[in-house]
Structure 1
Amino acid sequence: MNDKYEACKVLLTTCSNCKIDENILIVTDPTSFEVAKLMWDAMGEYKNKSIVMMDERTMHGQDPNKVVAGAMAKADVIFGCTKFSLFHSQARRDAVAGGARFVNMVDYSVEMLEKGGLYCDFESIGKICTSIAKKLEGGKTCHITTASGSDFTCSIADRAPNPQYARSLVSGASSSPPDVECATCAVEGTGDGIVYIDGSIPHPELGLITDQIKLTIKKGLIVDITGGDQAQKLKRIMKEFNDPNVYNVGEIGLGLNPMCELNGRMLEDEGCGGTVHFGCGDNRGFGGIVASAYHLDMVFKNPTLTVDGKVILDEGKIV
């Protein structure tokens, strides 16, 4: 185990380049307060730090209350240390549009500060992320298969790649360390096929998948969810959102961090090398046009992914 404060320092320096006199804000909630307090303790030398606690949201992408959103709008650097992600919230969009740097620390555990993806070589992996983005640039058709039977095709025409380096170093930047990934976005209405989710779905009722879930996708929407108990839970959860847009398959993210391991927590799982995840629901952060209060990620292992016939991932390995 590493010293957990070492990871806090990585977040304050490598991942955000915090300056001593900047206005630094930690947004947290009761579930995540233990990690937020460790970050606070690690900020001893930062003289303009603040921490604000709010009630927990009920799903990723929901906005904080107006008081918290107002504080975010005034900050130079924001650490979103919350149970559910603020990344797809309007408050985060508004804050970074105003020049803030946002670091997403959704669903962190103390263990994540002691080992795992935060101890990677962010600079070296960043170069790989850039190379993947170049391969996605200008692509028209994305095709994904897995040994378990997944076979999915969609258009990514005119959708710019979205490399995530897990570092927020410039004004307006957002990141989610240790999630190093490069994402693209399925054009609405074009996704078709079958995908077996066998990695994780970072939601409190699901986490690591023990009985693979079959998604049937037609014209860009999940039209059927089948499998065992976890499939039935997913079906119920998505239905309870009461928003037809949550069934939209938008983000297609390629995990690139070799030090991440699937553990049911969003940022380790999304960044886990050798995986791809679908982000369902809101896709505006990836160049799409579907608005939703929800964004749910579903991770599957060892995919083969091609763009216009060129192999980018071969059973999870970068080509």
Structure 2
Amino acid sequence: MRCRLRARFDEWSGEMGLLDRQGVFLPYLHLLGASYDEPPGYSFEERVSAASRDDVLGIGFDADEFDKLLESNSVEDLRGILDQYGVTIGELQILFAWHFGGDYQKMAREREEHMYDLCDLFGIPRIKTVIMTPTELPGPDLLVERFAGVCDRAAARGISVAMEPQSVNPGFDYADTVDMLLAANRPNGGLVVDAWHFFRDPDAFTQIDRLPAASIFNLELRDAAAEPKGSRLDDCLHHNLMPGEGDFDLVRLIRTLDAKGVDIPISAEVLSADLRAHTAAENVARTVDSVAVLMDAARAR
């Protein structure tokens, strides 16, 4: 099961180029049908069914929701739904607290190992991680040591670790993230470029220039107005626009990564109250169409 599910993701590592990529990967929050702090708006099967189109490369999922689903479903039940629709889960979120010390280390390690177990059960090749509390970071050397430890433990299970900088609570930005990735120097540890956080960062283009192409693991497209609508958190979680419909220069970002030699699947993570009002199938159709138009614009420039 695990090898079969991973096959489509292994095919992404060919010598193509970002502008040659077709289709879109849908991270967990994009196809949730709700905000992160609400119950899912779509059932598991609704999401998997909606993602069964040929132009969808796979979906992301969440460790906590897996735990809830497994209270009333077996692993075989959920894998059967994935098999029925031919859908791959390519990413599991989200690893917290690995950078803390003290009692948090035990909690974080238990969650980490549990996420690796879920990856084994469902053939998931990657976990996503963030630092949400930058005011409580250890010194840079210890931070690098702890991140490298996560990467090494993940590598032993055949899993990669994708780090996403957050611009909602500035304090550990793209510069800090790139510093950590370069110092840790782990081939299975890399960067998630989320367009909302990228364009809210003061110096993100300069920072991605410092990374080798192989260290950029994911590009999550979304758009927004130049100035946040409401608070930064509200804008991030509820007021996104479809790629190409806002003020972010997504074409420049795509072409910059392509020129750098980045060869990864295109993702879309549009967090929008308007989008959540649609069915899962309508969500996917709108997303696929928007990404296709944007990629055509990037190729034409």
- Structure having the higher strand fraction is 1
Report if TM-score (shorter chain) is over 0.5. no
Between 1 and 2, higher relative CO (CA 8 Å, sep ≥ 6) is seen in 2
- Structure having the higher helix fraction is 2
TM-score normalised according to structure 1 size: 0.24
TM-score normalised according to structure 2 size: 0.25
